[in-house]
């Protein structure tokens, strides 16, 4: 009797394991099928968008009216954004595909910047037309290569899950049709971008700003920096301060500094020339807040002043639990210069500065000649949505969508329960930018 009971129990257990295994297998298959469907959808969408991109570029080349060109260029920007998104959905993280992504981004940037600049007054140049012709030709090559891959996928019923497996198994990479096709696309794009020197696209493809950064002051050595750190951070005599040189090949040579003291770990970057603090991170446990948001801002401002960053105006403050984040902009003659900004983190338990990012300030800060605004504040105010209730106004310099600095009237106003920062060009009244502030920024700003 006992024997049959044991056999029955084992049989039930075996059936249970089989059912569980079958369910697990079915769930796994369902997940794999869903992933495969998503990959297939993204790939075919990518091929469609590249087709459409090629057609739109051809259409632009055939156009003559600036009024028609701007919407088409804007559409090209939208298409490249969609194509870029689909590339990000494919399992290509282990396959170098950055040149193709860069190509799509550059077409988008070029078309967007060209579309918004006002082609009636500033039409396409001869160099820009040549660039569009080359973009049209190159997009056609990418289109043909992707079509070849698409044909092979459909003809041979290829699976993207096999691509994912091949990418993590090096010895299989050379035998995968899809991978080979994408490598061909990448190779062609790389050859194209390397041959695009001295074209209208070249300015878009280069990294801006950080080139030719000029910092005042002389180069400091490690001993001078060590002394500065001891004064700034009140480092104990017995604490080991590690300093290494970094930034090889960059116009901004850096010293990287790190040390541990009293359970805190500090990491900082200083410029070799002038010894300016670029970044600082101080890791420690921050306890319950003991100071107000306004008091924290005063601590942050004093810290910047001690470092030599003067004339900094706090324009934004947010508190995240026990830490406050402040944004400062350089201010001169009552004009805020938003390219010259510094972020400061303050621990709200004792007011200690635990984070600094001054990179934007160091890259952009320079002497500027600012002409008087052509519009009055009242004239600029008329360009703001009449439903916005304006609370504050002042002059500010921002970088517009073309990467150029422009003088604007800055209006801070409310619409419903939201607060907005609106920038109106002080020369022609164009609405350069509208920023919606986070609710926490509004609350804490009111508290301070």
CATH classification of the domain holding 443: 3.10.450
Tell me if 269 sits within 8 A of 281, measured CB to CB.
Answer: no
pLDDT bracket for residue 321 (50, 70, 90):
confident
Over range 78-103, report the average pLDDT.
71
**Residue 291, in any domain of the structure:** no
Using the 3D structure, point to which of 188, 205, 222 is the last residue of a domain.
205
How many other CB atoms are there within 10 angstroms of residue 51's CB atom?
A: 17
Domain count, the chain: 2
pLDDT of 265 > 70? The answer is yes
Q: Give 314 or 150, the one with higher predicted confidence.
A: 314
Q: Give 346 or 124, the one with higher predicted confidence.
A: 346
**Residue 234, in any domain of the structure:** no
User: Residue 82: in which H helix or E strand, if any?
Assistant: helix 66-88
Tell me if 44 sits within 8 A of 36, measured CB to CB.
Answer: no
Using the 3D structure, point to which of 163, 180, 205 is the last residue of a domain.
205
pLDDT of residue 438: 66
Q: Which residues pair with 418 in a beta bridge?
A: 415
The per-residue pLDDT for range 239-264, each reduced to its tens digit, is 788 888 875 545 567 888 888 877 77
**Residue 196, in any domain of the structure:** yes
Could you tell me which residues come within 8 angstroms of residue 190 by beta carbon, excluding any fewer than 6 positions away? 99
pLDDT of residue 375: 94
Domain residues for the domain of 431 are 377-447
**Residue 301, in any domain of the structure:** no
Tell me if 422 sits within 8 A of 434, measured CB to CB.
Answer: yes
**Residue 92, in any domain of the structure:** yes
Residue whose C-alpha is closest to residue 324's, from 282, 352, 284: 352
Over range 12-29, report the average pLDDT.
54
User: Residue 390: in which H helix or E strand, if any?
Assistant: strand 389-399
pLDDT bracket for residue 443 (50, 70, 90):
very low
Q: Give 174 or 127, the one with higher predicted confidence.
A: 127
Percent of the chain surpassing pLDDT 70: 71
pLDDT of 373 > 60? The answer is yes
Over range 392-414, report the average pLDDT.
90
Tell me if 260 sits within 8 A of 317, measured CB to CB.
Answer: no
**Residue 119, in any domain of the structure:** yes
Tell me if 342 sits within 8 A of 358, measured CB to CB.
Answer: yes
Structure tokens at 348: 């709200």
Using the 3D structure, point to which of 153, 185, 205 is the last residue of a domain.
205
Please state the φ and ψ torsions of residue 93, each to the nearest 5 degrees: -65, -30
Long-range contacts at 359-367 (CB < 8 A, ≥ 24 apart)? 359/278, 359/279, 361/309, 361/330, 362/213, 362/215, 362/252, 362/271, 362/276, 362/278, 363/209, 363/210, 363/213, 364/209, 364/337, 364/339, 364/340, 365/330, 365/337, 365/340, 366/214
**Residue 316, in any domain of the structure:** no
**Residue 239, in any domain of the structure:** no
């Amino acid at each position: 009797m006992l024997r049959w009971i044991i056999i029955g129990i084992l049989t039930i257990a075996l059936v249970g394991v089989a059912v569980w295994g079958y369910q697990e297998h079915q769930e796994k298959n369902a997940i794999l099928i869903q992933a495969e469907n998503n990959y297939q959808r993204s790939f075919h969408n990518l091929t469609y968008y590249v087709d459409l991109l090629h057609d739109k570029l051809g259409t632009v080349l055939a156009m003559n009216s600036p009024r028609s060109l701007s919407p088409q260029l804007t559409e090209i920007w939208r298409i490249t954004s969609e194509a870029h998104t689909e590339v990000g959905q494919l399992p290509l993280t282990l396959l170098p595909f950055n040149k193709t992504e860069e190509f799509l981004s550059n077409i988008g940037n070029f078309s967007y910047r060209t579309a918004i600049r006002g082609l009636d007054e500033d039409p396409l140049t001869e160099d820009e037309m040549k660039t569009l012709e080359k973009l049209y030709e190159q997009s056609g090559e990418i289109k043909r290569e992707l079509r070849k891959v698409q044909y092979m996928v459909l003809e041979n019923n290829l699976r993207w899950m096999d691509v994912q497996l091949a990418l993590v198994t090096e010895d299989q990479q050379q035998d995968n049709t899809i991978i080979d096709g994408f490598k061909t696309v990448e190779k062609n794009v790389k050859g194209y971008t390397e041959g695009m020197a001295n074209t209208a696209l070249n300015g878009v493809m280069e990294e801006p700003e950080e080139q030719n950064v000029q910092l005042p002051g002389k180069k400091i050595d490690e001993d001078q920096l060590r002394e500065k750190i001891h004064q700034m951070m009140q480092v104990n005599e017995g604490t080991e301060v590690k300093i290494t040189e970094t930034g090889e090949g960059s116009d901004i040579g850096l010293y990287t500094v790190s040390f541990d003291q009293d359970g805190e770990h500090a990491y900082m970057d200083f410029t070799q020339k002038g010894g300016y603090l670029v970044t600082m991170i101080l890791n420690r446990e921050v306890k319950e807040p003991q100071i107000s948001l306004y008091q924290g801002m005063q601590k942050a401002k004093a810290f910047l002043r001690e470092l030599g960053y003067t004339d900094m105006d706090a324009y934004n403050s947010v508190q995240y639990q026990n830490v406050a984040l402040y944004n400062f902009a350089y201010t001169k003659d009552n004009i805020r210069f938003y390219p010259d900004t510094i972020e400061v983190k303050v621990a709200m338990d004792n007011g200690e500065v635990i984070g600094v990012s001054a990179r934007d300030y160091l890259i952009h800060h320079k002497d500027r000649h600012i002409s008087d605004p052509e519009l009055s504040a009242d004239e600029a105010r008329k360009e703001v949505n009449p439903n916005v209730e304006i609370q504050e106004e002042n002059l500010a310099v921002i970088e517009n969508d073309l990467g150029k600095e422009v003088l604007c009237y800055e209006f801070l106003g409310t619409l419903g329960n939201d607060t907005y920062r609106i920038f109106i060009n002080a020369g022609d009244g164009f609405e350069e930018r509208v920023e919606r502030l986070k609710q926490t920024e509004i609350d804490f700003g009111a508290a301070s």
